[in-house]
Amino acid sequence: MPPECRVFRPRWLGRDSWAWVSRVLEDYRDLAGESRAVLDARLRTDEAIAPDRASFRRVRRVLDAQFLPRRVPTPEPAELRRRAFVLAATLRRSGERDVAARCLATLAHSLHQTAEHVEQSLLADLAAEQRLVAPAVAPIVADVAAEANLALLTSMAACSEWIRLHVAASARRVVAAIRASRLIAVVDEAPATGIDVTLSGPLSALRRTTLYGRRLAQVVRALVASADWRLRMRCLFAGSAWQVEVSHLDAAFPRADRSPARFDSTVEERFFRRFTRLKSAWTLEREAQPRRAGARWLFPDFLAVPHGVRERSIPIEIVGFWTPRYLERKLAGLREAQLGSHLLAIDETLQVVSGDVPADASVVLYRGVPNAVQILEGLVRIDLERSGGARGAT
């Protein structure tokens, strides 16, 4: 560790925090149906019982996400106000006595809603006028504290230059999250005994840093849901470098288990459907086996099999965020391990550092979703080169 890099020790929420977290949670429950302005007034007295303002704000953000749903009414509040002003002016000219009540009733009838709902929707785009809505499943104190801990870990990861994580159990979920997020990642150990992964942090990217941070948050959530993990990262806080070390033993984190999806991302699913529609001699199989490339491991997204002959199969990896150096190292690893029959589909829009794409026959560029025809042509080209010029499958 560099001498200028100090160790940062996060302040997690444990059982000793449950009393004040419970009080804040009760305020949200009691004020369901009231405006955010009323909630803010109530919570000003509760802030003093929290150990620090940062922890209090994190708990508030967790509860805001559950009690203040971000639903935009139809029509939008600005348009609804415009219609209300026009209608109110018309009613005044006609001599209507109770303009407000008649205006709300008329708008409610035209929108097939109640007058109360219309009245609340008029100012729904103003933060102070948002209405608290009790969630269908009432949150409990332990879950709120765990989500607040995750929010702290995620916020630190958003300020990182790099992250190194180790997963000894439930590694498959973490690998799936990394593949779905398309982050710049290097896997160094065999998945059978756990994995060591090095991730580039958002601060290492010169472009798309906000999107990169959101994708990283998805990986962090999958990581903390594992049974045995630890991570180390270098972060920049207020211009100073800090090292942060966290493991599953340090605090309680959300452990909600979600049923696995067939595809890791919508990009994979859309590509799979488009490729299947070509009705070529190649079939795509999901959950391709990891491949060792020197000291590292590669996790293909698909295995392309021609005419059902698995000996001629070609793994396909859909690459998301990337830098020229990252691609050069990946291609060099493929060549070093004699894994040339490995096709990389690279999203041009997710380049985070300037530079040219390495010229290589196993690279296919795309935008948004890989072009199924171009991928098929790349597979045929690799198959031809591998067979010494004999006719490849199409």
User: So what's the pLDDT on residue 68?
Assistant: 84
Q: What pLDDT was estimated at residue 264?
A: 64
Token representation of residue 153: 């870990």
pLDDT over 70 (residue 126): yes
Domain match, 220 and 294 both: no
How far, in Å, CA of 373 to CA of 31, rounded?
A: 56
Q: Please tell me the distance from the alpha carbon of residue 285 to that of residue 304, in angstroms, as a whole number.
A: 7
d(CA 85, CA 264): 49
Q: What span, in angstroms and rounded, lies between the C-alpha atoms of 63 and 144?
A: 7
Joined tokens for residue 25 = 């949670």
83: which 2 tokens?
Answer: 């219609």
Of 215, 230, 258, the residue at which a domain comes to its end is 258
Same domain assignment for residues 272 and 376: yes
Inside any domain, residue 251: yes
The CATH number of residue 273's host domain is: 3.40.1350
Which of 13-22, 44-53, 160-169, 333-342 has the least mean pLDDT?
Answer: 333-342
Residue 170's pLDDT band, with cuts at 50, 70 and 90, is: low
Helix (H) or strand (E) holding 161: strand 160-167
- What end-to-end distance do the CA atoms of the chain give, in Å? 53
Tell me the pairing of strands 160-167 and 195-200: antiparallel
Q: Is the pLDDT of residue 1 over 50?
A: no
207 pLDDT more than 70: no
Rg of the Cα atoms in the chain: 27
Q: How far apart are CA 206 and CA 219, in angstroms?
A: 20
Question: Does residue 183 contact residue 320 with C-beta atoms inside 8 Å?
Answer: yes
Count of domains forming the chain: 3
Please give the residue range of the domain that contains residue 166.
161-258
| Pairing state between β 185-187 and 195-200 | antiparallel
List of residues 6+ apart from 56 with CB closer than 8 A: 24, 46, 47, 50
pLDDT digits (tens, 9 = 90+) for 275-322: 999 989 999 987 556 666 655 666 778 889 998 888 888 888 888 777
Q: What is the DSSP letter of 351?
A: B
Give the position of tokens 């959530």: 221
DSSP one-letter code for 84: H
Question: Could you tell me the two tokens for 227?
Answer: 């049974």
Half-sphere exposure of 132 (CA within 13 A, CB side): 21
pLDDT tens by residue, 141-164: 999 999 999 999 999 999 999 999
Structure tokens at 134: 């009790």
Backbone angles phi and psi of 349, in degrees to 5: -80, -10
Region 185-204: mean pLDDT is 77
User: What mean pLDDT comes out for the span 41-62?
Assistant: 90
Does the pLDDT of residue 116 top 90, yes or no? no
Q: Reading across the β-sheet that carries 296-298, which strands appear in turn?
A: 6-8, 240-247, 229-237, 160-167, 195-200, 185-187, 296-298, 291-293
Give the angle 136-138-140 at the CA atoms, nearest 5°: 155
Are residues 289 and 379 both part of a single domain? Answer: yes
- Only one residue has tokens 């508030």, namely 60
Please give the structure tokens belonging to residue 172: 């498959």
In a domain, 110, yes or no: yes
343-347 vs 314-319, strand pairing mode: parallel
Q: Residue 155 domain-assigned?
A: no
Flag whether pLDDT at 79 surpasses 70.
yes
- Locate 249 and state its tokens: 């033993």
239 and 302 inside one domain = no
Residue 380 to residues 314, 324, 361, 373: CA-CA distances in angstroms? 10, 25, 11, 11
The reply to whether 392 falls in a domain is: no
Torsion sign across C-alpha atoms 263, 181, 350, 328: negative
Does residue 313 belong to any structural domain of this protein? yes
199: phi then psi, degrees, rounded to nearest 5: -110, 140
242 and 307 share one domain: no
pLDDT at residue 358 above 90? no
Question: pLDDT of 219-278, one tens digit each?
Answer: 999 899 888 899 999 999 988 899 999 999 999 999 755 545 666 678 888 999 999 999
The last residue of one of the domains, among 232, 258, 284, is: 258
148 in a domain, yes or no?
no
Residues 287 and 327 in one domain: yes
Is 321 part of any domain? Answer: yes
Instruction: Please indicate whether residue 53 or residue 385 has the higher confidence score (pLDDT).
Output: 53
CA distances from 146 to 9, 28, 241 (A): 17, 18, 26
Q: Could you tell me what percent of the chain has a pLDDT over 90?
A: 36
Q: How far is CA 242 from the centre of its chain?
A: 24
Angle at 124 (CA atoms; ends 210, 215), nearest 5 degrees = 15
**Is residue 29 scored above 80 in pLDDT?**
yes
More confident: 237 or 324: 237
Asked, for residue 8, whether it belongs to a domain, the answer is no
Task: Output 68-72 pairs: Cβ under 8 A, ≥24 positions apart.
Answer: 68/36, 68/130, 68/132, 68/133, 69/133, 72/124, 72/125
Going by pLDDT thresholds of 50, 70 and 90, the confidence category of residue 11 is very high
Examine the domain organization and report whether 236 and 290 are in the same domain: no
